[in-house]
Homo-oligomer: A and B are copies of this chain.
Amino acid sequence: MRGLLRGLSRQAGQAPGTVGGPRAPAAGPVRLRTLVYTADACEARDQPDAQACFAAVREGAVTWINVDGLHDAQVLQAVGARFGLHPLVLEDIANPSQRPRCESTEAYLFLTLKMLRPDPSGDGLLAEQVSLIVLPGVVVTFQEAPGDVFDPVRERIRTGAGRVRAAGADYLAYALLDAVVDQYFVLLEAASEQAQALEEAALGGDPVAFVRALQAHKRELIALRRAVWPLREVLTALERTEPRVFEPATRPYLRDLYDHTIQAIDAVEVLRDVFAGVQDLHMTHVSNRMNEIMKVLTMIATVFIPLGFLAGVYGMNFERMWPVEAAWGFPALLGVMAALGLGMVVWFRRKRWL
C-alpha cells in the first residue's frame, strides 16, 4: 500500500509554490549529467552543479540535462531561474505524488509521468516520478533517485542507432516517453505471467497466502492503471497544444505512442478480468475441496451411527433379549450390520452422494 498513496499530504500547510521545505530528506548530493549530441558527435558528462550543466548547452546541438534526486532545492531553483519555469511547476517537480500531466506555455513544455520498475527487493513495484522540461534544443529530466529505464535511449544516442541523433529535442522527449511506456509493457507481461502462476496456486496451497498474493498483484495493477490512464489524456493534450513543440516528422511517433498507451490500458483491463477469474477459480476450488472432505466424513459417521445404535441395543442389560442366548446370535447380528452398512453405501452411491 505504501507506494500507492505515498506523500499525499506533504504540501499541506505550506505556501503554494514552495519547493523543498521541512520534509525534504538530506539524501546525499544530487547527481547531474549532461548528454550533448548532434548528428555527428555526442558527449556525455557528469556535472558538478547546475551552472556547469547550463554551460554545456550548445546552439545547434541537443542537450539532455538529467537530474537524479529532487531534494536539493537549490538545483531546482537554478533550473527554474535559467529556463523561466513557473514556481508551481517547480513545486510539482519536487513533489513526487503528482498525477501524470502536462502543461505547456509559450516558452516550454512541462511533462510529469510515472516510471514503474519492479522493486529490487523483489516485492511489488517501485513508482518513481519523472518530470520533463522540453525547450528548443534542450530537454531537462528530473528523477527521484538514480537508476532509470533510459539506458536504451542513451545507448541509441551513443551508437547513433535509429533516428534520435538526426532529430531534435522533441524526438528525444518522445524517445524518453517511449522508454517509460515500453517498461509498462515489460511489467504487464510479468503480471501476465504472475497471473498464470497464480492460476496454478489457486488450486492448492494456503488460501490466505493466495489471497494476499492476489491482492499484491491487484495493487500492482492499480499502480499501473494510475500511471497509464492519465498518460492517455497527457498524450491527447500534447497533440493539441500550441505552439507545437513536436515537429511534423515526430508526430506520427507520438500517435504511435498514444496507440501503445491505449494498448497498455487495454492490457491492464484484461488483466483485471483475468485476476478476477483466478479468484473465482480459487474460491470454487476451496469450497469444493471442503465440501468433498465434509461429505466423505459425514458419510462415514452416518454409516456407523445406525450400526452403533444396533450394538447399543444388544448391549442393554434386559433379562430376556432375543436372540442373545442363541449360538448364532452374534454372527447373525454381525451379518445384519455388514448388510446394513453395505446397503447404505450402495444407496449413497445410487443417489450420487459418493
Contact check, A88 vs B256: say whether CB atoms are below 8 A apart: yes
Contact check, A208 vs B256: say whether CB atoms are below 8 A apart: no
- Chain A 293-309 residues near chain B, CB threshold 8 A: 293-295, 297-302, 304-309
For the complex, give the distance between the alpha carbons of A185 and B98 in Å: 13
Contacts of A270 in B (CB 8 A): 4-5, 222, 226
Q: Is A252 an interface residue (CB 8 A)?
A: yes
**Distance to closest chain B CB from A99 (angstroms):** 5
- Of B212, B226, B274, B293, the residue contacting A266 (CB under 8 A) is B226
Q: A99-B259, A290-B291 are in contact. Are A5 and B267 (CB under 8 A)?
A: yes
**Distance to closest chain B CB from A166 (angstroms):** 12
For the complex, give the distance between the alpha carbons of A304 and B13 in Å: 65
Q: Is A343 an interface residue (CB 8 A)?
A: no
Q: Is A81 an interface residue (CB 8 A)?
A: no
Q: A88-B253, A208-B203 are in contact. Are A12 and B182 (CB under 8 A)?
A: yes
Chain A 323-342 interface 0/1 with B at a Cβ cutoff of 8 Å (1 = within) = 01111011001100100000
Q: How many residues of A contact B (CB 8 A)?
A: 111
**Distance to closest chain B CB from A183 (angstroms):** 7
For the complex, give the distance between the alpha carbons of A284 and B103 in Å: 45
- Of B156, B287, B295, B311, the residue contacting A315 (CB under 8 A) is B311
For the complex, give the distance between the alpha carbons of A337 and B318 in Å: 15
Contacts of A301 in B (CB 8 A): 297, 301-302, 305
Contact check, A316 vs B318: say whether CB atoms are below 8 A apart: no
For the complex, give the distance between the alpha carbons of A9 and B152 in Å: 14
Q: Is A26 an interface residue (CB 8 A)?
A: no
Contact check, A300 vs B305: say whether CB atoms are below 8 A apart: yes
For the complex, give the distance between the alpha carbons of A277 and B275 in Å: 13
Q: A175-B16, A316-B317, A317-B317 are in contact. Are A8 and B189 (CB under 8 A)?
A: yes
Contacts of A203 in B (CB 8 A): 208
Q: Is A215 an interface residue (CB 8 A)?
A: yes
Q: A15-B161, A311-B309, A322-B330 are in contact. Are A290 and B295 (CB under 8 A)?
A: yes
User: Which of A37-45, A64-72, A138-146, A192-200 contacts its partner?
Assistant: A192-200
Contact check, B219 vs A13: say whether CB atoms are below 8 A apart: no
Contacts of A299 in B (CB 8 A): 297
**Distance to closest chain B CB from A188 (angstroms):** 5
- Chain A 177-217 residues near chain B, CB threshold 8 A: 178, 182-183, 185-186, 188-189, 192, 195-196, 199, 203, 207-208, 211-212, 215
List chain A positions with a Cβ less than 8 A from chain B.
1, 4-5, 8-9, 11-18, 86, 88, 91-92, 97-99, 101, 103, 152, 156, 161-164, 175, 178, 182-183, 185-186, 188-189, 192, 195-196, 199, 203, 207-208, 211-212, 215, 218-219, 222, 226, 252-253, 255-256, 259, 262-263, 266-267, 270-271, 273-274, 277, 279-281, 284-288, 290-291, 293-295, 297-302, 304-309, 311-322, 324-327, 329-330, 333-334, 337, 353
* Known A18-B162, A313-B337; further 6 A-B contacts with Cβ < 8 A: A8-B267, A11-B182, A12-B185, A15-B164, A88-B256, A300-B305
